[in-house]
Amino acid sequence: MGRKIRGREISGWVNLDKPHGLGSTPAVAATRRLFEAKKAGHAGTLDPLASGILPVAFGEATKTVQFMQAAQKTYKVSLRWGVATQTDDGEGDITETSDHRPSAQDIVAALPNFIGDIMQTPPAFSAIRKDGVRAYALARAGETVDLAPRAVHIDAINVMDATTPEHCTLQVVCGKGVYIRSLARDLARHLGAFAHVTALRRTRVGPFDEKNAIGLEKLETLRHIVPDLAALDAHVLPLMTVLDDIPALAVSVEQASRIRQGQAISLIDLSEHRAAMADGGAATEFVAVHENMPVAICRRKDAAVHPVRVFNFPPQQVD
């Protein structure tokens, strides 16, 4: 007889402000424990040395994690010039030094080279697998790690502070898969210098930003104040929070039932919702909604709408 999985049937998102020094997996585990959630996941790993926004999904919201992994992200990163390290941050041993310090004007002039679609080589100390082994494990064992460059997209880079020769703070807006440590390394090389990251904070992931984020310490405090978890549940955001950019398609109770059973709905059946379909333009993905509750993420193909990810909400769904 299998072990019974314990925990509450709760669905939604928590906009967690991950503290410096804690990995993403332990941060999610701590959040899940505080909320007594049966199921949890996260969108977009943050290194232990980085702090900031780590969206945590509970229950049915874990089915929408992919949308947040692909969401636009914003980082605040501080660089120290003149020193390169093994890990491209303050954790690694120093590998090279230089007396050259780029001016603020030189930094600004170099940034356009790193905006848009670029090729980026991940750091040797990263979680990318090489021959089935994590790159950081190979690097820690003293092996040379050669990772292939890959295409990434950076939307914008702005200089926030460059008033001292030794340090520089940048704001980076980017897409999925960008390594900020690699950006710092490559920017320094472009400027004929060395640099490494001294501080990194993620300030936004899609709709989640610092304004309504909550830290683990605050959650711990709330957990002890209200035994029935009501104070914590007030910080659970609806699943639909991450689906705002996907056109919504209202369906009847009968259509919702068919979709939940994995059946496609013909566009003829949805004729009364042509306006909603038109609002979607050339979009192929929609979120089917019945009485303001998401039913499924659907994909339009030929003359029908097919369910791709079906949501199954229990009666005690937090919304």
The two three-digit tokens of residue 256, written as one number: 């919702």
Tokens 């610092």, located at residue: 210
DSSP state of 187: H
Q: Report which of 147, 142, 151 is spatially closest to residue 130, judged by C-alpha positions.
A: 147
* Cβ pair 284, 202 in contact under 8 A: no
Q: Around Cβ 246, how many Cβ atoms within 10 Å?
A: 18
* Cα 167 versus chain centre, distance: 27
Tokens of 136: 């950081």
Reported as type and span, the H/E element at residue 256 is helix 253-260
- Six-digit token string for 206: 């899609």
Coil, strand or helix at 41: strand
Report whether 290 contacts 256 (CB < 8 A).
yes
Catalytically active residues, by annotation: 47
